[in-house]
Amino acid sequence: MEFPVQTANPAKAETACLVVPVFKEGDLLPTAAKLDDASERLIGQLIERGDFDAKAGSVQLVPFAPGLGADRLMLVGLGEQAKCHERAFIKALDAAFTALSALPVEDVAVAFTDVPVPDRACDWKARMVAESAHRAVYRFNEFKSEPAPVPRLARITLLVSEGGNAAAAREGARIGDAVGQGVALTRTLGNLPGNVCTPSYLAKQAESMGKESSGALAVEILDEAALEALGAGSLLSVGRGSEEPTRLIVMKYQGAENPEEAPHVLVGKGITFDTGGISLKPGESMDEMKFDMCGAASVFGTAKAVLAIKPKLNLVFIVAAAENMPDGRATKPGDIIKTLKGLTVEVLNTDAEGRLVLCDALTYAERFEPASVVDIATLTGAAIIALGHHATGLLSNDDDLALDLLDAGEAAWDRAWHMQTPPRLRCA
């Protein structure tokens, strides 16, 4: 998907559809006003006659655009200007791109950088445009006998009324495009069935990303023999009952000017299918246990976004990938295993496998002497019982890092809730 920026007269933009945001009251925004003048007040007349109600998220397609270089005109409601904060802005974007994705159009031009959003500059608005476009066009059709039509949208021109904002719009769109691609990869990995997305499949995905990165991403795959030699008995114990071999996937990105700068490490739980093992889960909804690798999927998506954004940081991405199955070789309740750190663990419930794969992955992360470590995991449905569907549970032994993550979650609309860990529960 392309996101060029145009500062010239929007009325002359040659595109399949011009997308114009409109408030419920007050004057038209700068780009909308220019288009209204060029089209003999088409926009103003539609509003005055009541043909378009500019409530938040409303969409009106006009299949002609007299006086304009576009084939069509789409009006998008922003609601009341006093209430146009981040959420209303994103709601309008999503409504627009959902409608556009259903049209037979490849290129459109949008005027959303004109919209005043409190405390948000042009780069943020351009980024939201790109992220919303990626959300709208995403489809998972890989296994359908008759795939649904795929949106044709491929080029979204950002109309910027002030030339001084063009560079900011380009940078915002670049980052939004990268994030959108990363999110799409995460969604696809999560959607894949467990007979396709295995630990070996994830390892191959990492190797492909490394090859496509032109050397920006170094990839190392530790197989079961390497993990045995290392002493990663906890991770290996989870996959003992599966025909699918366990893997520890390590991807390294060197972006800092100083290659010796301490990296930030992301660790993802990659249980590609979780039956619970010998402590078997109930059959109802077990098909959803293919999603037990979504922590790993998030790490992969982040790595993809990082490769496109190219931040000046050193990063290490670690994925502990295994399949938790019952079998004659599977770990049994009451078994005692030894972790990579050398600690012994009595396994009372084999469905508590997440902490077993993560503990060895986190121990492995120590060798990089990291500046920070963040692990991402689908550990327990009890998080939903505690927090509902509105926030992710966040536990940390570093309050400063926790605050940074909470702020990042607010900025990304992926909120977290800090679950307190009293001193007696923290490692010395």
Return d(Cα 156, Cα 110) in angstroms, integer. 7
Report yes or no: 205 and 319 within 8 Å, Cβ to Cβ: no
Q: How many CB atoms lie within 10 A of CB 204?
A: 14
Q: How many CB atoms lie within 10 A of CB 355?
A: 15
Cα distances (angstroms) measured from residue 318 to each of 128, 149, 314, 344, 394: 28, 36, 13, 23, 19
- Residue recorded with tokens 């990659």: 270
Report yes or no: 202 and 298 within 8 Å, Cβ to Cβ: no
Out of 355, 367, 415, 426, the active site residue is: 355
Return d(Cα 33, Cα 49) in angstroms, integer. 17
Return d(Cα 190, Cα 174) in angstroms, integer. 25
**Which residues, other chains included, contact 213 with Cβ-Cβ below 8 Å and sequence gap of 6+?**
307
Out of 152, 204, 281, 341, the active site residue is: 281
Active site residue 144: no
Longest dimension (CA), the chain: 79
Return d(Cα 282, Cα 293) in angstroms, integer. 19
Report yes or no: 354 and 378 within 8 Å, Cβ to Cβ: yes
Which token pair is 155? Answer: 């080029």
Return d(Cα 250, Cα 255) in angstroms, integer. 16
Active site residue 125: no
Return d(Cα 263, Cα 256) in angstroms, integer. 9
* HSE value, Cβ hemisphere, 13 Å, CA-based, for 399: 4
Return d(Cα 15, Cα 233) in angstroms, integer. 59
Buried b / exposed e along 335-346 (16+ C-beta atoms within 10 A): eebebbeeeebe
CA 141 to chain centre: 19
Buried b / exposed e along 304-334 (16+ C-beta atoms within 10 A): bbbbeeeeeebbbbbbbbbbbbbeeebbeee
Active site residues: 281, 355
